[in-house]
Amino acid sequence: MKKIAFLLLGIIILSACERNDKSENESIIKVGIFDTNGDSPGCIVDAYEALRIDNKINPEVISAATIMSDDILSFDVILFPGGSGKAETSRLGHLGQKRIQELVSDYGKSVIGICAGAYILSQTEGYPSLGLSGMQATDIEHDHRGHGIVKFNLSEIGKEIYPELADSELSFMQYYEGPVLIPVENQNYNYQSLATMLSDVHTVEGTPSNMTNNKPFIITSEVGKGNTVSFVGHPETTPGMRWMLPRMVRYLLKRELVKYPDEVVRPEIYKDELLFTEDLLDLQNKYYKNLWGTEVQKIEAINGLVDISAWSAKKWIVGLLRDSSAEVRKTTASALVRLERTDFIHDLEIAHALEKDNETKLILQESVKSLKNMIELNSGK
């Protein structure tokens, strides 16, 4: 009887441990997105919305004051978005920068840097950086080098994190003048390159060629008890690829790499790189101007801006949900779905509630449903 009792007790203990492990794996992940008091609100929104794809991730915009306080200890990940690296480190101040270093190395926190955030994590002479990636930025005198959809490929480790891209020889992502990263000599931290950039971006006059191509594009680094990841490009603002950001959060925290819905995992959208040469910039400006044109011009402009992946299309298009033309309103609703603008769900809901044209009303309703699916049918649901 004693043996049976001990056996039952062992089973109960093991079951309790399994339940605790499961509970831990399913607990909410808190990600703090650093705000420099409105310096780059679009980059903050993009990161916030991309993280919402995963219903186990709770994104929250935080300040330097939050980082300096004990409140930051409740966050699992700190994210430095795109914008201005100097503005972000200036807002942190010397003590805030030291605090981030301690949070990673001593407290085991994870930090993600996107574009300007990748500059911040680097160890770059003459640039206010934190030295948390084992990389340095080079050719910073030509920081203003160009932008567009660029091509990259994954390393073997990258393919394990992103198996949805493993069979693709090339993948594509938004890039907007991100850092050219190279290893620091005698670096203090181990790093791994998860992806390599293959596009040669030098569309701005005076910028040298062969700088961005064959350079690390996504880098993870072990830093003391914690870790960091640097994205040179912008997964969070690339339709079809935004899910790469929440997946990386899970990887850094050693959580289950859950499958995301087909509504957001759409790497097939892009077939080739699309760099903003002078001719393409002229076309973009034409489209922007025509957003205030005739009905036909507006429709052409909306579709054109989406087709060329214009960086600012997302903030200009939404206003046309309130255009006097039903055709323009329908085109706008469809474009917002193509751009995965989950931040404009409320705009679409109000437009749907006020719409008088039955056909347009149906399209608005379907657009709301499609965008909600991107943030509700997720995390293995």
Residues whose CB is less than 8 angstroms from the CB of residue 162 and which lie 6 or more positions away in sequence, other chains included: 154, 244, 247
User: In terms of DSSP H, where are the helices of the chain?
Assistant: 2-25, 41-51, 64-68, 85-105, 116-121, 156-161, 244-252, 278-290, 295-307, 313-317, 326-338, 345-354, 358-376
Q: Tens digit of pLDDT for each residue in 160-169? A: 999 999 999 9
**Per-residue model confidence as pLDDT tens digits over 208-231:** 999 999 999 999 999 999 999 999
- pLDDT class for 38, splitting at 50, 70, 90? low
Buried b / exposed e over 203-232, threshold 16 CB at 10 Å, is bbeebeeebbbebbbbbbbebbebbbbbbb
pLDDT recorded at residue 285 = 96
Question: Looking at domain 6-269, what is its CATH homologous superfamily?
Answer: Class I glutamine amidotransferase (GATase) domain (3.40.50.880)
Would you kindly state where each structural domain of the chain is located, as residue ranges? 6-269, 277-376
Q: Is 240 left (phi over 0), alpha (psi -120 to 50) or beta?
A: left
β-bridge pairing 226-231 and 110-114: parallel
Parallel, antiparallel or unpaired: strands 226-231 and 180-183: unpaired
pLDDT tens by residue, 53-65: 999 999 999 999 9
pLDDT class of 37 with cuts at 50, 70, 90: low
pLDDT over 70 (residue 24): no
